[in-house]
Amino acid sequence: MSNNSFSGLEMLKVAILMEEEGYNFYRNGANNTTGKTKEFLIAAASQEFFHKEKFSQLYDELSKGNEAGSEYLYDDEVTEYLRSLIENQVFNKKDEPKEAFKDFESAVLSSLKTEELTVKVYNEMYKGITSDTAKEVMGKIIEEEKQHVEYFKNLLRA
């Protein structure tokens, strides 16, 4: 196993950061909108907050236990791919549209793109998890993120 593979704790740290980013993104949107859009963004923010709490609990459990048994076993290629996904897409603020929250449709579209990316990153993480507990939690969170994606798609169709 190479030194630059992500450990379980490192991946959870990334997930916690992603949920924080999502939470801040939606809160910011809610502060700049009104009515239906605002309500929608407040609800989305609270879900991100809840996910962050789940990841934080898992992080605490893992850091107390023996982390060696909970490694994410990635080869270099997957690790590099994940790292570039996270650095270039998830946390690259240059692409965040200034107009993201100008109306309901653009807010939903921005949110949809964010959630789709989150699902993509979490699916990559999931592949490398060896801990059953972590796999179960990650699986549940991926399902919830997929529900967000469907929810946003339905809002756009409405």
Structural domains of the chain ordered from first start: 8-157 (1.20.1260.10)
pLDDT tens per residue, range 128-144: 777 777 778 788 889 98
Confidence of residue 6 (pLDDT cuts 50, 70, 90): low
Residue 2 CA to residue 17 CA, distance in Å, equals 24
| pTM, entire model | 0.74
**pLDDT at 66 exceeding the cut of 70:** no
The confidence score (pLDDT) of residue 4 equals 42
**Res 1: pLDDT:** 39
Q: How far apart are CA 26 and CA 107, in angstroms?
A: 9
**Range of lowest pLDDT (34-43, 90-99, 110-119):** 90-99
